[in-house]
């Protein structure tokens, strides 16, 4: 199996949208997908609010990682924030997620990031185990807060 990873471009937007629907289904959150192809095109490739890495196995799309940069006041440097990493179910266990994650780590190093962060659902034990194998530590003393659009 030949795994290739590349940055997405505007023509990849329909594929990105399908992969987003795939991760939403996996996380049992399909009813929360508000993204559309035009919205993703605008946000990713016009406003450039986030970046996407696409993974291919033998030229077939098999996964993606969506990320953006944040800033750490304590480190005084930008950080890479991984919003989503997803491999289609029938392709799991073949090193695709590891390849995507390793590419993100390299991107963080190349961009001189002070850290890389993400969240993981507490029931996703395979992902938790994988992240711990990469020397990631959970930030159990922090609580995630959120305000949705309607609350702003």
Taking the domains of the chain in order of start, what are their residue ranges? 3-151
Q: What is the mean pLDDT of the chain?
A: 96
**What is the spatial distance between Cα 82 and Cα 147, in angstroms, rounded to a whole number?**
19
**What is the spatial distance between Cα 8 and Cα 66, in angstroms, rounded to a whole number?**
10
Inter-axis angle of helices 125-133 and 96-110, nearest 10? 50
- Catalytically active residues, by annotation: 131
pLDDT at residue 9, as a whole number: 98
Could you report the per-residue pLDDT of 67-112, keeping only the tens digit for each? 999 999 999 999 999 999 999 999 999 999 999 999 999 999 999 9
Residue range 3-151, CATH number = 3.40.630.30
pLDDT at residue 109, as a whole number: 98
């Amino acid at each position: 199996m030949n795994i290739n990873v590349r940055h997405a471009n505007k023509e990849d937007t329909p594929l990105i949208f399908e992969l987003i629907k795939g991760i939403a289904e996996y996380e049992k959150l399909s009813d929360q997908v508000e993204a559309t192809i035009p919205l993703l095109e605008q946000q990713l490739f016009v406003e450039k609010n986030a970046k996407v890495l696409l993974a291919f196995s033998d030229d077939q799309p098999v996964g993606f990682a969506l990320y953006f940069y944040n800033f750490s006041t304590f480190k005084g440097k930008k950080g890479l924030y991984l919003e989503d990493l997803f491999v289609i179910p029938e392709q799991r266990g073949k090193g695709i997620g590891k390849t995507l994650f390793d590419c993100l780590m390299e991107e963080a190093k190349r961009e001189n990031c002070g850290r890389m962060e993400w969240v993981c659902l507490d029931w996703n034990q395979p992902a938790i185990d994988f992240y711990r194998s990469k020397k990631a530590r959970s930030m159990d003393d922090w609580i995630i807060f959120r305000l949705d659009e309607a609350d702003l």
